[in-house]
Amino acid sequence: FGNIPDGGGWRYVGRRQGEKNRSATPDKPKNKWRDPKLGYAFIHTVIDDHSRVAYSEAHDDETATTAVAVLHRAVEWFTDRGVTVERVLSDNGGAYRSHLWRDTCEALSITPKWTRPYRPQTNGKVERFHRTMADGWAYARCYTSEQERRDALTDWLHQYNHHRPHTACDYQPPISRLTNVPGQYT
């Protein structure tokens, strides 16, 4: 996702004001036209294949080090919910083809698998989740800064996992498919 300039992006404030906001965004390196380079937010997502429970983080890069750190936190997050991670399916990005990724998966007793190149349908659950995320979180309302949007991600993920009906789960929230979540049967 493209980062949002301070004051809001053009989708909500219009092209003219969006360009003014972009030009006024401080502390960003400039391109050759003297406009700030706002960059991108790279979304790292892990989805449980059975329940569709999702874990996501937004980062400024998609390096192997970042991907491995996300994997460690995701495994811990899923373990807290009673899910054992056995396999991970990822695209063929450099971060997921690195020796660091393979070594980390081996250390965590996870089998790494990769999608067929140029075939995003293989990873359809994540691709569809990212579409839902774009519509429900990233571009759902006017954020006045990138930090405000990133701060809203945790609440949106909670709403997605715990309250939003999912068609693959018989119109129940994804968390309902996990039968051993602590505190679920109170």
The string of pLDDT tens digits covering residues 56-65 is 999 989 999 9
pLDDT for the residue 20: 67
Residue 19 lies in a domain: no
The string of pLDDT tens digits covering residues 30-44 is 555 555 456 788 999
Residue 82 lies in a domain: yes
Residue 10 lies in a domain: no
Residue 15 lies in a domain: no
Residue 2 lies in a domain: no
Residue 59 lies in a domain: yes
Residue 129 lies in a domain: yes
Instruction: Tell me which residue range forms the domain holding 69.
Output: 42-177
Confidence of residue 168 (pLDDT cuts 50, 70, 90): confident
Q: Across residues 138-153, what is the average pLDDT?
A: 90
Residue 171 lies in a domain: yes
CATH number at residue 79: 3.30.420.10
- In the predicted model, is pLDDT for residue 47 greater than 80? yes
pLDDT for the residue 57: 97
Alpha carbon distance 175, 110 (integer Å): 22
The string of pLDDT tens digits covering residues 92-102 is 999 999 999 99
Q: Across residues 75-93, what is the average pLDDT?
A: 95
Q: Across residues 94-121, what is the average pLDDT?
A: 95
Q: Across residues 6-22, what is the average pLDDT?
A: 66
Number of domain units in the chain: 1
Contact 64, 94 (CB under 8 A): yes
